Structures are given as structure tokens and as C-alpha cells.
A and B are shown apart, each in its own frame.
Chain A
Amino acid sequence: MLRFILMRLGKAAIILIAILTLNFFLIHAAPGDPAAVMAGEAGAADAKFIAQLREQFGLDKPLLTQLGIYLKGVLQFDLGYSYRQQMPVADLILDRLPATLLLTMTAFVISLVLGTAAGVLASARVGKWSDTAISTLALLFYATPLYWAALMAVLLFSVYFNWLPGFGYETVGANYTGFRRALDIGQHLILPATTLGLFFMAVYMRMTRASMLEVSQLDFVKTARAKGLKSGIIQRRHIFRNAMLPVVTLAGLQAGQLVGGAVLTETVFAWPGIGRLMFEALAQRDYNLLLGVFFVSAAMVLVFNLITDILYRFVDPRIRVA
């Protein structure tokens, strides 16, 4: 197990270095001289300042040396400096990361739990009206633009009914503490997390339904029936566990999309996470910050992947023991 985790960590490290390299070349591919761009961002584009920046960031050195300096910097949690926000990129991101983690994790859990539950329900009633209803709903969620669902949710639940807050992370100026604050954040979380999870809910539902139906055709299910087991036990113990294997794999693969989707959700709901930060960076053409957020979201995806991989090993003995 330990060896497996070490191996996966090694692989993740290689991917991270590859992403950083990509990042580095993207900065250089950006139109204009990076020093001029940085100077522009800092709002002082005179030649002396540019030359100074050039030296400070080693921009006069060969490209590979620069890459080395860049990678070394990242190892020390130095993701560069955002001249627009006048703060180190790493600090900006670290400040916003918890909100994003809260949002994506909640959305992930909601979509996985509700999605698989709906999928199981639909597969148990295949062909009946409840299956048709669930499948149609999934089809709709699957085709709905995430940001539009978010806007419509705000319109409906926040503006029209006034049931839930549709803006921000907590009630500004209320200065709640302790449990009251958690409740407040929870209320603010409902709409963003649900709308972010909607698409993935549809994905997991469809996958679970298809997988349940496929597994229920397999021989060992017939064996279980031949034992005289109740159909509830067969569903849970034999069909569901086997059907979840591809869903877990998919959940890992989809994690990346979830982190990407957070940019849209956070923008609509003014959720103070790194997605919103990315939107701000876009609006201000703050490339250092943009690439920093990109790097951190890729790292988050790797963590998600590692978790699902470990989960998979717990579910499937063929991989665990072999």
C-alpha cells in the first residue's frame, strides 16, 4: 500500500513538473516581452524598470536556466508576484483555497451521492415512469451550461423566492461566529455547490444506471439468486459493489472538470475561491496569477485522482492483492 502511494506520488510529481514546464513556456509564448508585460502589469513601463526586471528574473539568461530558476522557485512555494494585486501569487491563492476546497468537495459529494442513488433507483425500475423521469432529468442536466444553471438558480431561489442567498460566502457585516457562522456559510453554499454538482450528478447517474444494468446480467448474480438470497441483498452486495467500480474510476477522471467548473460557479456567485481569482486575473490580464491558479487547480486534480485510486484499491481486491 505504502509502495503504491509512493509510486503514485512519484507519478504525480512528474505530471506537476510537466505542468510547470508547460506554464513556463506559456508565459514565454504570451504576446510581448515578459519583462515588458510584467512592467505593464506593475503600471511602470519605462525602459529602466524593464531592464531591472529582466535581471531580477534572470530573463537575460538562456531559456533552460530560466526554467531551472522557475522550478526551483515553485519548490519554495514561490509562484511569482502579482503586480496587479501587489501580492505574491502563492499568498493570494492560499488565502482563497479553503473556499474552493469547501465548494468543490461539497459539490463532489452531493453529485456522487445523489447521482449514484438516482442511478440505482432508475436501474431498479428500468422502463417504468420513474426511470424515464430520472433519465430525462439527467439528460437535461447533462446539456445545461453550468453558469446558466447557476444564474437561473439565483434568479429563482434568491431573487424570486428569496429563500437562499445567491451571493458571496457569508453575510457581509453580520459578524457571526461559531455555529451561527457555519450555518450562514452552509446557506450560502447550497446554491453554488448544487449547481456545480448538477452536470456531474447527471454523469454519475447515467454511468451508475448503465453499470448496474450491465452487472445484473453477469453470471455471479445468477449464482446469488440460485442461493435463494433476497433481491435487496443481491442488489446491494453483489450488483452495486461491482457496478461502482467504473463509477469510481469516472469520478476520479471527472474531478478535473469539477475544479475547472468552479471558475464559472464562483464567478456567478461571487464565491471568494481560486476560481473567482482566476476570473479576476483574466479581467486584469494578470498572467502570473492566471498560471498560478492553473497550476494549483491541476495539483488539486492530482489529489482527487490519488484519493479515488486509493478508494478503488479498497473496493477491488484484484488490484489490492495482485
Chain B
Amino acid sequence: MKDPVLSIKNLKIALPEGADRDFAVDDVTYDLFPGEILCIVGESGSGKSMSANAAMGLLPDLVRPVGGEIIFDGTDVLKLSEAEMMDLRGKKIAMIFQEPMSALNPLMRVEDQIAEVFEAHGLLTPKERAARAIELLTEVGIPDPQKAARAYPFQLSGGQRQRVMIAMALALEPRILIADEPTTALDVTTQAQILELIRNLQEKHGMAVMFITHDFGVVAEIADRVAVMQYGKIVEAGTADEVLDNPQHEYTQKLIAAIPKLAAEETEAPVGKTPILEVEGLNKTYVTGGGLFFSKPRVVHAVNDVNLTLCEGETLGIVGESGSGKSSVGRCLVRLMQPDSGTVKLAGHDMAQLSGDALREARKSIQMIFQDPYASLNPRSKVGRIIAEGPMAHGVSKQEAYARAVKLLELVDLDALAIDRYPHEFSGGQRQRIGIARALALEPRVIIADEAVSALDVSIQAQVLDLLADLKERLNLALIFITHDLRVAAQICDRIAVMQKGKVVEMGPAHAIFNNPQSDYTRTLIEAIPGREKELAAAG
């Protein structure tokens, strides 16, 4: 075997006082070999990106390495002076980050930001730098590199910005590329393209890539070797096949089991069941800009002639990438947004036409679960109040409403004592359970879950999904599940509507959508799901 290009030995990184544990990284040892892609996997707070940041000398202010070494080129990086580190950064080890939106300076042109890499290391003349910038942009596959070079970051899409980041990282042919969750903020189709690009460039340049991610799908897609981290320690390491197919450690097993499986089961068609929600010809357009003077308004057709039916006891998935209009549909259904036209028939009433008290009354039967477990609960109200508020607004006595709140908390597997506590005392998963309890308080018949598990770690996500499936069964609810994550949709939905640019491009039973997609877009979307090929191969 070749010598490792980077070797981390017994690394210990201390967290500032008052953190939930003493060490962000606790006695971690691993090697990175030339020409391989090593994935460091872990959930949030596992310390997965800390060792990579330490190798770059880019740890946050109060976090510092206190033991072990990071050997690169025969020397311990931790002992290098700041000047020596500067020489290393960008030239021998390069890095790309999670948020392509904020990782580029908003006030500088793309070409200047790329040229800076050469400037930092005193290479080339300004003219040559500009020329190289165009070459690099061409290499990372940006359409119209000449124009992109002159652009400011805000004029590029998220995927294009991540390509610019990669171009900068490649500029000096580094020996190591560290990629810290580089595709997490991107849509699934863009993610697939970026993963392919990284793979290709890695092969072409023979770099070693350290790829940090929380997503086992991405691991399956790109990794040669894998190291799994939990609470600052590596619990398991090995080749991608070993770890994914035959995980040894309990935690790894749990994580992999928690990943929603792609294979959607064939469910009986909801024929004969009574429809509870019927949506016809729903339209919503936004007009942005267009002030009093001159400027021309921009019109976006967020929801374009959407028709849906939801039957009792059914789960309908609405799936799409960002900007597809899937959330707008959900908001139009509960009238958080006023549709331009169309009917939303809920148990005989047209939601789209109601107003005032009639609307308040009708909304009792259709409730919503929100995405952000931190923004969806009023920080200044106790949990009991949060849940009881709805029934009280509809005339239930305070005593009865609180009694019901206790029952609901038990229903979502939370302690009844939670009633007297504030939201900030709970974890993300627990908060999402409180949100579910609140939605159930009015005994609705339809629940709309808008990206309800997207902000959660995969193990928590699995628990919440199970809870939702269970509640749906027990309370005979109908569920509309809005998500960008096709794996989640495959697991929980009976039928799926795929949306693109405000239109439903395809709708049908979940297994049909996954096994026999009819539209090109659905096909692209499904093929872009990370880890899909591996899963198919495993399923035989």
C-alpha cells in the first residue's frame, strides 16, 4: 500500500468550557491515501469536520487541538507557524464548504476571487491569472465561463457557485481536497452533478479527497473508504462496501437502518375510499419588484393549474426541488396563502372561498406541521399553552384544553410534565413532536406536513416518520407530505405528485412513480438520488 498523504494520529481537540462535552474530537486516528475518496460520516455535533479544519488550521476561535498530530509531507501540521500554514492552504490542501451562497465574497467578481488564489502564493502575472480563471471555470463545467468570470456571486445559481468554489480549490493542483458537506445545501439533481464532478476531477488530478457528510446516500455514491464518527470518536472505519453492506458497530447499523428505503411498497389503490380533499385548478402567481417608478415587475407562476385528490386515511406526497411550488400548494390549501383561482373542497366546503369565522371553523379539520423545529414554537409560551391555545380559541375551557394537551403529549411519546416547560428545553426531535401534538389538538382530518423531517438528523427523522405513520393509522388521518427528499417520500407515501416549476408533472401510486416513472423530470430526479444504484444492486 502507498504511504498516506495525510495521517492523523491520536488527535484531541478541546471544546470551550460549557460545551456539552470536553472534546470535539477525542483520540481520533486515520489516514488519507493518495487517489482515494475518504468519507467522514456523522450526525450533527459528531465532530466530523473538526479534524479536517484542524489540518487546514481553520478551527473556530475557542476550539483548539490539545493532543496528537496531523502529519502531512513528513511534518506535523499542528506545529507549523502561521506563515507556513498560509503556504500550505490553497496550495497543497484546498477546501470547499457547505454553503455556496455565503462562501463567496458578495462584492467581488468571480474571476478576481479565483485569481486571488494565485496571488496569495505569489504565482503568475495578473493577466495569466485571469486566463487561468477562465480555464478553471471551463474545467468545472460552468456554462459560458467568460461571462461567469465577470459575474458577481449573486448572479449565479447555487450549483454554479459550488463549481466556482471547486475551481478555486483546484487552481494550484492541491494534493488534498477537503469537501465539507459540499452538496447539502443543493437540490438533488444539482447534488448528483457536483458529486460526479468531484469524482471526475479526483480521478483526473489524482488528488486525495476527504469528503465530510451526514448522508449515507452520498457516501454510497462517492466513497472509497469510510470513517463513521459519533461524539468525537471514530466508531467504525473501513472500505465503503464493508461499512455500508456489513456495518459492525451498533451506531453505524442504527444509522444505516434509519435511512428510508427507496423501494416503495405496492399499496392497494385508494379506489372506493371517499375523497376528503379535492383540489381543482389551483393557481398562484407572485409579482416581485415593480415599484411606483419604472422597474418592471417579475411574475412567477408558483402554482400552475394544480389538481389533487386526497382520500381518507391516505398519505399523498408532494415532491419537488426548491422553487417547484410544492410548499405554495400546501400553504394555499390551508389559506396561509390566498390562491388566485381554483377550488379547495374540504369535506364539502370550498376552503378557497371562506373567510372570517367560517374559515376559522373549517381550518379545524386541516392542520399543519412545520419544517423548522426551532421557529415553529413560540419561545415565550410554555408547551401546555402552545398545545391548548387552539382548542381554547374555539371555545374549549382552559381546564379541558390542558387536560387534552397532556393526553396529546403522551400520544406523541413525550412526558406529561413537558406541559410546564418552555420550548428551548427540548431537542429538535422533541420539538417536532410538540408541533405534531399541537396540530392534533383540534382533531383535524387532514394534516399537511411541510418538510416536517428535513431539519432532523437521520436517526431522529426515522423516529418522527414512524410516529406519523402510527398516528395516521390510529386516528384515521389523511396526510399530505411535502418534501424534497424522495427517500422519505418513498417510505411514507401511498401516492406521490411530482412538481416542477409550479406544475404537477406526474402523479400516481408511490411504487409506480419509483419503478416506472413516466415523465423525464421524474426520471432525472430519481436517478439523482444518492446511493440509489448501490441500493438497486444490493436488492439484486
Contact = CB atoms under 8 A, between A and B. Distances in A.
Given A242-B107, A318-B154, A228 B87 contact: yes
Contacts of A229: 86, 90, 116, 119-120
Interface string B329-347: 0000000000000000000
B77 to A, nearest CB: 13
A227 interface: yes
B58 A226 contact: yes
Interface of A: 3, 7, 10, 218-220, 222-230, 233, 237-238, 241-242, 315-318, 321-322
| The 8 residue pairs across chains A and B that have the minimum distance between CB atoms | A228-B90, A228-B89, A219-B102, A227-B90, A229-B120, A226-B95, A228-B120, A317-B152
B104 A223 contact: yes
A269 to B, nearest CB: 40
Contacts of A242: 105-107
Interface string B103-136: 1111110000000110111000000000000000
B435 to A, nearest CB: 29
Given A3-B294, A229-B116, A223 B103 contact: yes
Given A219-B99, A229-B119, 5 more contacts: A3-B294, A228-B89, A228-B120, A237-B105, A242-B107
Interface size class of B (residues with CB under 8 A): 20 to 34
B105 A228 contact: no
A261 B141 CA distance: 57
Contacts of B480: none
Nearest to A245: B107
Nearest to B95: A226
Contacts of B106: 220, 242, 316-318
B168 interface: yes
B91 A228 contact: yes
Contacts of A315: 107
Contact of A224 (B102, B107, B116, B293): B116
Contacts of A316: 106-107
Q: Which secondary structure characterizes the binding site on chain A?
A: helix
Contact of B89 (A226, A237, A238, A318): A226
Contacts of B58: 222, 225-226
A116 B421 CA distance: 45
20 contacts: A220-B105, A223-B97, A223-B103, A225-B58, A225-B89, A226-B58, A227-B117, A228-B86, A228-B117, A229-B116, A229-B119, A230-B86, A230-B120, A233-B120, A237-B105, A237-B108, A242-B105, A317-B106, A321-B152, A321-B155
B99, B107, B117, B293: most-surrounded residue (chain A CB, <10 A):
B107
A306 B99 CA distance: 35
A240 B107 CA distance: 11
B94 interface: yes
B499 interface: no
Interface string B65-108: 00000000000000000000011111100110101001111111
Interface in B148-200: 152, 154-155, 165, 168
Contacts of A226: 56, 58, 89-90, 94-95
Nearest to A222: B58
A1 to B, nearest CB: 13
Interface of B: 56, 58, 86-91, 94-95, 97, 99, 102-108, 116-117, 119-121, 152, 154-155, 165, 168, 293-294
Nearest to B91: A228
A316 B107 CA distance: 6
Contacts of B56: 226
Contacts of B99: 219
A310 B94 CA distance: 38
A316 B155 CA distance: 13
Contacts of B168: 223, 227
Contacts of B294: 3, 7
Contacts of A220: 102-106
A292 B234 CA distance: 76
Contacts of A7: 293-294
A224 B105 contact: yes
A187 B94 CA distance: 55
B438 to A, nearest CB: 34
A278 B270 CA distance: 82
A15 B58 CA distance: 50
Nearest to A7: B293
Contacts of A10: 293
A237 B58 CA distance: 19
Nearest to A316: B107
Given A219-B97, A242-B107, A315-B107, A227 B152 contact: no
A7, A223, A318: most-surrounded residue (chain B CB, <10 A):
A223
Nearest to A220: B105
A238 B105 contact: yes
Contacts of B108: 237-238
B210 to A, nearest CB: 13
Contacts of B293: 7, 10
A316 to B, nearest CB: 7
B169 to A, nearest CB: 8
Given A225-B58, A228-B120, A218 B102 contact: yes
A7 B294 CA distance: 9
B132 to A, nearest CB: 14
Contacts of A321: 152, 155
Contact of B107 (A228, A233, A317): A317
A321 B105 CA distance: 16
A315 B86 CA distance: 28
Contacts of B121: 228
A237 B117 CA distance: 13
A304 to B, nearest CB: 22
Nearest to B53: A222
B117 A219 contact: no
A225 B168 CA distance: 12
A247 B99 CA distance: 26
A229 to B, nearest CB: 4
A199 B6 CA distance: 54
A219 B87 CA distance: 21
Contacts of A225: 58, 89
A149 to B, nearest CB: 36
A116 B138 CA distance: 40
Given A220-B102, A242-B107, A315-B107, A228 B88 contact: yes
A50 to B, nearest CB: 45
Contacts of A241: 107
Nearest to A225: B58
A7 B89 CA distance: 47
A316 B108 CA distance: 9
Given A7-B294, A227-B117, A230-B86, A222 B91 contact: no
A89 B469 CA distance: 80
